[in-house]
Structure 1
């Protein structure tokens, strides 16, 4: 029989995959990996904001992550050199967050949980938040799927079809901020981008359509979560990084399978 905390951890990983799978597909297609990093790193500043104002941690991280995502999207629309800008914002947000958190001695020993996640300590309330957030993100992307896909493939075609690319970009920005807020407890600020990118990149190597890639990313993310938890229990390794290791292993297998299929 599994212990209750293991069941909650497994359900949290699967629930998070509902959001990171389809959203990660768009992150890969749009080459928004660094964008995801900047938003995730800002989550630590959100933790400090929540502690300073007695807000729930999830709400604080959501507010700051959304602010960072909107800032980055606004700068991109104005033609800023995004590689340099994102590098500055990502690392600055993380540094400011770490410095701000240091003013709260009670959380210093627990800082690694915010950086690398603590999925084994997910409570029933946090589990409900993960599933609610994952369901909202999945439903939002499903609702805007065709418009998001068209805007991603060709903005001129999107305009001709009556689709506003800026609006679809905003949908992704808000979905990314919500995903960061609910993922912080599971995999931590430093590994959120990996959970977005690696399952989607693995699914791309074996999928034959955009829809198959998004669904495949969900399945791979869920599988990696369960396998990572098993590895963590077996070898007594950190749960969050173990999930990413499992996802990376699936990526290697998928890449090899995709290469063999193309050669065949």
Structure 2
């Protein structure tokens, strides 16, 4: 079954959706959309360093994405506005990454595949990395779910409950770095933030509890991956962007439904 490239692609898309959905819910609740985008942009620098040092691209992307997220977390509130800091670091990391790639002589690299994804080229080894990363993210979020919800609701309530909001922020940072690394192959650096935000935003009008939102977001993300791949195959369009388009149409549909019920 795994010899079929479409089957591997669908499994990869569902794996990324499972990782992105619960994390994306927290990104939406905490209004961290630009934070996720900045972390994704930093992954290009990680890819360049991985190729230069001949180490795992997954490891390099995780390391640099985590370094970017930690830098933002540590510098926030120290005289730097969050949006300014994210803008500077995100675009600087992307630019340095693209420049670094141009210096890699003797290495063939399909830059467009890293920017917009190449889900149809997913191998069995890639599937193992994607599902392993997804399991790690889901396990990490599930383990800290109650604490994360409390610190998201109110830092004061979190402190009163004996929860350190800074620590929970670091948990989200680690989960975000892993998600970015596993999603690169599927939707690419420039579309990772879309897969984090859009399914979660589409699930919000349909949900009554945080748990429902995370579950419905996972279902929407998975369905978007499957339907988007089918549409890309039928219409001969890019796979990664097609997946995001289906997710965006789902968001439009749930938003219209919510307004009609209001």
Q: What is the TM-score of this pair, normalised by structure 1? A: 0.96
RMSD of aligned residue pairs (Cα, Å): 1.4
| Pairing 1:135–2:135 present | yes
Instruction: Provide Cα deviations, 1:44-99, integer angstroms capped at 9, x if missing partner.
Output: 00011001100011111111111001001111253520111101111111111001
CA distance in 1, matches of 2:78, 2:149: 23
- Matched-pair contact (CA < 8 Å) for 2:2–2:124: no
CA distance in 1, matches of 2:239, 2:3: 16
Q: Give matches, 1:20-169, under 5 Å.
A: 20-78=20-78, 80-105=80-105, 110-169=110-169
Gaps (5+ residues) in structure 2? none
- Matched-pair contact (CA < 8 Å) for 1:102–1:108: no
Q: Cα–Cα, structure 1 residues 233 and 82, in superposed 2: closer, same or farther, change >3 Å? A: same
SS in 2 for 1:208: coil
Instruction: Provide Cα deviations, 1:181-238, integer angstroms capped at 9, x if missing partner.
Output: 1111111000000000000000012111111111111001001001110111011111
Instruction: Provide Cα deviations, 1:127-155, integer angstroms capped at 9, x if missing partner.
Output: 01100100110111111101000000100
Instruction: Provide Cα deviations, 1:97-126, integer angstroms capped at 9, x if missing partner.
Output: 001011125556610000000000000001
Q: In structure 1, what is the equivalent of residue 12 of structure 2?
A: 12
SS in 1 for 2:76: helix
Count of residue pairs the alignment pairs up: 262
Runs of 4+ in 1 over 6 A off after TM superposition: none
CA distance in 1, matches of 2:24, 2:79: 24
Q: In structure 2, what is the equivalent of residue 259 of structure 1?
A: 259
Gaps (5+ residues) in structure 1? none
Q: Give matches, 1:113-262, under 5 Å.
A: 113-261=113-261
- Matched-pair contact (CA < 8 Å) for 1:20–1:195: yes
CA distance in 2, matches of 1:79, 1:154: 23
- Matched-pair contact (CA < 8 Å) for 1:101–1:108: no
